[in-house]
């Protein structure tokens, strides 16, 4: 990832509009900012959320609150708690998210 032509700025995430994204179960709400080709999001999953697809997009993801379960298509699974992160490249390892208790995330992709 190369970051260029992005002037210094701050983001008050509370003022960024939310969009809703249904999962197989539960709901995700995204607050999204675009900086050139880089998308930055604050994402919240409701308790019981399960993604409706296998994602192949690369991300750097930080768990801020709650607990996130990430399953890879090859069968491996990981649990993120607040202060933990993961990173994965585009088209590297299909993955999907779920949470029993809900989660709040900060994601750069």
pLDDT tens per residue across span 16-57: 999 999 999 999 999 999 999 999 999 999 999 999 999 999
Cα–Cα distance measured from residue 28 to residue 51, given in angstroms and rounded to the nearest whole number: 9
The position carrying tokens 């999953």 is 45
Mean pLDDT of the chain: 96
Distances (CA, A) of 45 to 3, 7, 23, 29, 107: 28, 30, 9, 7, 13
Pairwise CA distance, residues 20 & 72, whole Å: 24
What's the mean pLDDT in 70-96?
Answer: 97
Domain 19-101 in CATH: superfamily?
A: Jelly Rolls (2.60.120.10)
Give dist(CA 19, CA 92) in Å, integer: 27
Chain CA centroid to CA 83, Å: 14
pLDDT at 1: 67
Locate the domains of the chain by residue range. Answer: 19-101
């Amino acid at each position: 990832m190369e970051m260029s032509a992005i002037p210094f700025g701050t983001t008050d995430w509370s003022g960024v509009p939310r969009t809703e994204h249904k999962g197989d179960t539960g709901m995700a709400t995204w607050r999204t900012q675009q900086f050139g080709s880089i998308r930055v999001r604050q994402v919240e999953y409701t308790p019981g959320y399960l993604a409706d697809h296998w994602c192949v997009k690369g991300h750097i993801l930080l768990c801020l609150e709650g607990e996130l379960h990430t399953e890879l298509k090859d069968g491996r699974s990981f649990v993120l708690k607040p202060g933990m992160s993961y990173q994965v490249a585009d088209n590297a390892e299909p993955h999907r998210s779920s949470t029993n208790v809900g989660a709040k995330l900060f994601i750069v992709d």
